[in-house]
Amino acid sequence: EVQLVESGGGLVQAGGSLRLSCAASGFTLDDYAIGWFRQAPGKGREGISCITTSDGRTHDADFVEGRFTISSLNAKNSITLQMNSLKPEDTGVYYCAAAKWPGFRCEVVAALYDYWGQGTQVTVSS
């Protein structure tokens, strides 16, 4: 059974940092795209960053502006999202998602991903 489990969320003050992790089980992360998404209260799901595990290429949404970094630890079947300079508008539930990927650059479009974690809450106070 394919499972993705997020961890690392919590409450942080504006300007602070959090490191989210996505642990995959039931499959190995070879030739997959892993994406991070978030959903703020009352809003739709928004793509943040993605990585293709075959070559480590990444792609970020425009709003990231260098504040977030996605990385892969294939040996541990894990993907992390380092978030720095957090803002109150970064508050929301953060999800990781996976999809088998043929090799071109990944995209942070939710409809392209087949497997989803349950999410982890990130709250940034002002």
Cα end-to-end span (Å), the chain: 40
Please tell me the distance from the alpha carbon of residue 56 to that of residue 74, in angstroms, as a whole number: 10
pLDDT at 31 over 90: no
Residues 65-91 have pLDDT tens digits of 899 999 987 766 899 999 999 999 999
Tokens 């602070």 belong to which residue?
16
User: What are the backbone dihedrals phi and psi of residue 75, each rounded to the nearest 5 degrees, phi first?
Assistant: -60, -30
Q: Which two tokens stand for residue 58?
A: 């990444």
Residue of 73, 92, 68, 78 lying closest to 17 (CA atoms): 68
Whether residue 104 is predicted with pLDDT greater than 90 in this model: the reply is no
Q: Which residues pair with 50 in a beta bridge?
A: 35, 59
pLDDT tier at 102, thresholds 50, 70, 90: confident
- pLDDT given at position 35: 96
| Of 121 and 27, the one with more pLDDT | 121
pLDDT value for 61: 95
Question: Is pLDDT larger for residue 76 or for residue 18?
Answer: 18
Q: What is the pLDDT of residue 55?
A: 87
Mean of pLDDT over the chain: 93
pLDDT band at residue 64 using 50, 70 and 90 as cut-offs:
very high
Q: How far apart are CA 18 and CA 86, in angstroms?
A: 8
Yes or no: say if 8 and 117 are a contact pair by the CB < 8 Å rule: no
Tokens at 40, concatenated: 């703020």
- Amino acid residing at 74: N
Strand partners, 59: 50
